[in-house]
């Protein structure tokens, strides 16, 4: 119940209200006894749903461009991006477990209504931009593997709504199982492709070391900023703080501390897996395209076409297409869930899950279908770039509230983030904001 801004609820302006994703809230049992691994296993899952957002089709494009143009040099940028992601996602788990709120609810409960409404609108724009990128990626994957026209592929992606509804009805663990299985397929596909490409492992290792060339070379700096700007996405912050609460951990401080520990381990391990995939894309581009003089490969379709002649096996582009399709399906699943969390959390409006997901998907499919019908593959590539710019613009509006909330002892109680973590997160927030502002200026400059 909303008591107004005059009465505080443990540091919050308003009461929490009903939980987001209420149909699966606290439905997954947590072991309170047994071995460390048995207790930790109950929390395995949310981190992998979050990791999907760090290897979406937008990331593929920037990693392919970076690897084909500059070889292994930008691997260090992928590493730095991943460290930033680990810090921010750990704060999401902390916010959820300490306050019982996801990030959307926290914004609604902490800020005046006009501010919360603006943040909601910005979050919805970010969700739409994310979903457009995932829809296009899935459609390209269908086109590369089965030859399905892009226009039809965009429409087919809407069917995943029914898959999510079915899996969530039988249990949220099944949603997590689907995502983890598809991540496994992606890993196998890239593992085979990397083996075929036979990269220079000495150069791979050196690529993870910082170099001043990234800053002094304007073209390299631009691509590095693109990788950083496309990696941490706002919908992941809302998503993680919501799905962590599918676990039925207790309400006592020791139980919450253990839940936070296991949730942080889950997201950290999962994000290291995401780094493995992103690094694999860059390594594949470096060892296959850059090494043979193809230094301007950025489009997914072009990369798919070049793989067979360069690696000498017809299966190589098929594996690339399968990995892209799996990635697109995974990303649409998680983006749709994030959309539900954002709407329910900010507005405290309860729509049937099927209706919320259909609305989210329809909003994304209309512009994606329009562009693919009128402009074809070239138009979809340009729309992918535009979605990344939109996401860059929205990101700070999710990151700064997250850091503020988790640093506030009144709101977080005993689970307030330690000073060293807040300093790190503050630096990350400022760096992301500065990089994204530069990306936006660069994008605007390219238009005029």
Distance CA 357, CA 21 (A): 12
What pLDDT is stored for residue 1 in this prediction? 36
Check pLDDT > 50 for residue 6: no
- Please, what is the average pLDDT of the chain? 85
Mean pLDDT (whole number) for 152-159: 80
Comparing CA positions, the residue from 258, 262, 235, 251 lying closest to residue 99 is 251
Mean pLDDT (whole number) for 391-419: 92
Query: What letters, b where the CB count within 10 A reaches 16 and e where it falls short, cover 273-288?
Result: bbbbbbbbbbbbbbbb
**How is the chain split into domains, by residue range?**
36-447
Distance CA 140, CA 324 (A): 8
Kindly report which listed range (55-59, 100-104, 178-182) carries the lowest average pLDDT score. Answer: 55-59
- Is the dihedral angle over the CA atoms 70, 228, 239, 390 positive or is it negative? negative
Comparing CA positions, the residue from 412, 411, 41 lying closest to residue 247 is 41
Residue 447: which pLDDT band, with cuts at 50, 70 and 90? low
What pLDDT is stored for residue 7 in this prediction? 42
Q: What is the pLDDT of residues 226-275, one digit of tens each?
A: 777 667 788 899 999 999 999 999 889 999 999 999 999 999 999 999 99
CA atoms within 13 A on the CB side of 129: 25
Check pLDDT > 70 for residue 368: no
**Domain 36-447 superfamily per CATH:** Amino acid/polyamine transporter I (1.20.1740.10)
Check pLDDT > 60 for residue 292: yes
Q: At what angle do helices 218-231 and 353-406 cross, to 10 degrees?
A: 120
Cα 385 to Cα 142, 286, 399, distances in angstroms:
20, 21, 22
- Which region, left, alpha or beta, applies to residue 211 given φ > 0 means left and ψ of -120 to 50 means alpha? beta
Distance CA 135, CA 361 (A): 9
The more confidently predicted of residues 414 and 150 is 414
9 three-class SS: strand
């Amino acid at each position: 119940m909303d008591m107004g801004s005059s009465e505080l609820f443990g540091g919050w302006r308003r009461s929490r209200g009903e939980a987001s994703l209420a149909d699966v809230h606290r439905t997954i049992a947590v072991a309170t006894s047994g071995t460390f691994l048995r207790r930790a296993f109950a929390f395995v899952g949310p981190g992998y749903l979050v990791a999907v957002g760090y290897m979406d089709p937008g990331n593929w494009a920037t990693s392919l461009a970076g690897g084909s143009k500059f070889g292994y040099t930008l691997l260090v940028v992928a590493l730095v991006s991943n460290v930033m992601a680990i810090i921010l996602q750990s704060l999401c788990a902390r916010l959820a477990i300490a306050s019982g709120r996801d990030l959307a609810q926290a914004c609604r409960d902490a800020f005046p209504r006009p501010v919360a409404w603006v943040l909601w609108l910005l979050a919805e724009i970010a969700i739409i931009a994310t979903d457009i990128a995932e829809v296009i990626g899935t459609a390209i994957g269908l086109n590369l593997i089965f030859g399905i026209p892009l226009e039809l592929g965009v429409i087919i992606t809407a069917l995943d709504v029914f898959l999510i509804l079915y899996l969530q009805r039988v249990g949220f663990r099944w949603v997590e199982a689907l995502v983890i299985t598809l991540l496994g397929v992606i890993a196998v596909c890239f593992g085979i492709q990397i083996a075929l490409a036979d990269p220079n492992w000495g150069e791979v290792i050196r690529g993870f070391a910082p170099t001043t060339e990234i800053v002094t070379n304007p073209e390299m700096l631009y691509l590095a900023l693109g990788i950083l700007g496309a990696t941490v996405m706002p919908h992941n912050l809302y998503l993680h703080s919501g799905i962590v609460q599918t676990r039925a951990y207790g309400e006592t401080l020791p139980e919450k501390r253990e839940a936070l520990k296991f949730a942080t381990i889950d997201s950290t391990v999962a994000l290291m897996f995401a780094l493995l995939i992103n690094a694999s894309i860059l390594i594949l581009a470096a060892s296959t395209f850059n090494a043979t003089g193809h230094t301007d490969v950025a489009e997914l379709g072009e990369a798919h076409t070049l793989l067979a002649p360069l690696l000498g096996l017809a299966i190589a582009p098929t594996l690339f297409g399968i990995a892209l399709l799996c990635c697109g399906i995974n990303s649409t699943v998680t983006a749709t869930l994030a959309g539900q969390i954002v709407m329910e959390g900010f507005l405290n409006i309860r729509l049937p899950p099927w209706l919320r997901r259909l609305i989210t998907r329809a909003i994304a499919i209309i512009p994606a279908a329009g562009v693919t019908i009128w402009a074809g593959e070239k138009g979809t590539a340009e729309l992918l770039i535009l979605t990344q710019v939109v996401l860059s613009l929205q990101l700070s509006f999710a990151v700064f509230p997250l850091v503020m909330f988790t640093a506030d002892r009144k709101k977080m109680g005993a689970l307030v983030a330690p000073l060293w973590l807040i300093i790190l997160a503050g630096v990350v927030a400022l760096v992301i904001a500065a990089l994204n502002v530069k990306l936006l200026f660069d994008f605007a400059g390219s238009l005029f």
